[in-house]
């Protein structure tokens, strides 16, 4: 790799405030705030709106959509498939 052209890659804390969940990982992104982590070190923190702790797919609270009803409503509005 060429020196001096790549962004700094280091530890960063991503925090999901909605789920009160945070994890330490490595990234090129840097947040403006800092946080003292469980190991006693200070890291840059990035607040995210959704993570695996709050996403409906991962938490099991996902809703099943009524796709059959949507198809029927579309066909009533625009006609059945293949009629054009």
Output the CA–CA distances (angstroms, integers) from residue 40 to 3, 35, 36, 37, 43, in the order listed: 31, 10, 6, 5, 10
pLDDT of the residue at 13: 95
Q: What does the pLDDT read at residue 76? A: 84
CB atoms within 10 A of CB 24: 15
Strand partners, 24: 13
Supply the pTM of this predicted model: 0.65
Q: What CA–CA distance (Å, rounded) separates 19 from 50? A: 8
Q: Is the pLDDT of residue 7 over 80?
A: yes
pLDDT band of residue 67 (cuts 50, 70, 90) is low
- Both tokens assigned to 52: 């695996």
pLDDT at 55: 72
Confidence band for 62, pLDDT divided at 50, 70 and 90: low
Band (3; pLDDT cuts 50, 70, 90): confident
């Amino acid at each position: 790799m060429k020196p001096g052209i790549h962004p700094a890659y280091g530890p960063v804390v991503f925090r999901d405030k909605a789920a009160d969940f945070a994890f330490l990982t490595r990234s090129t992104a840097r947040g403006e705030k800092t946080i003292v982590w469980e190991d006693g070190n200070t890291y840059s923190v990035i607040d995210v709106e959704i993570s695996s702790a709050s996403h409906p797919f991962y938490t099991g609270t996902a809703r099943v959509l009524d796709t059959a009803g949507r198809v029927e409503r579309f066909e009533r509005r625009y006609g059945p498939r293949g009629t054009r």
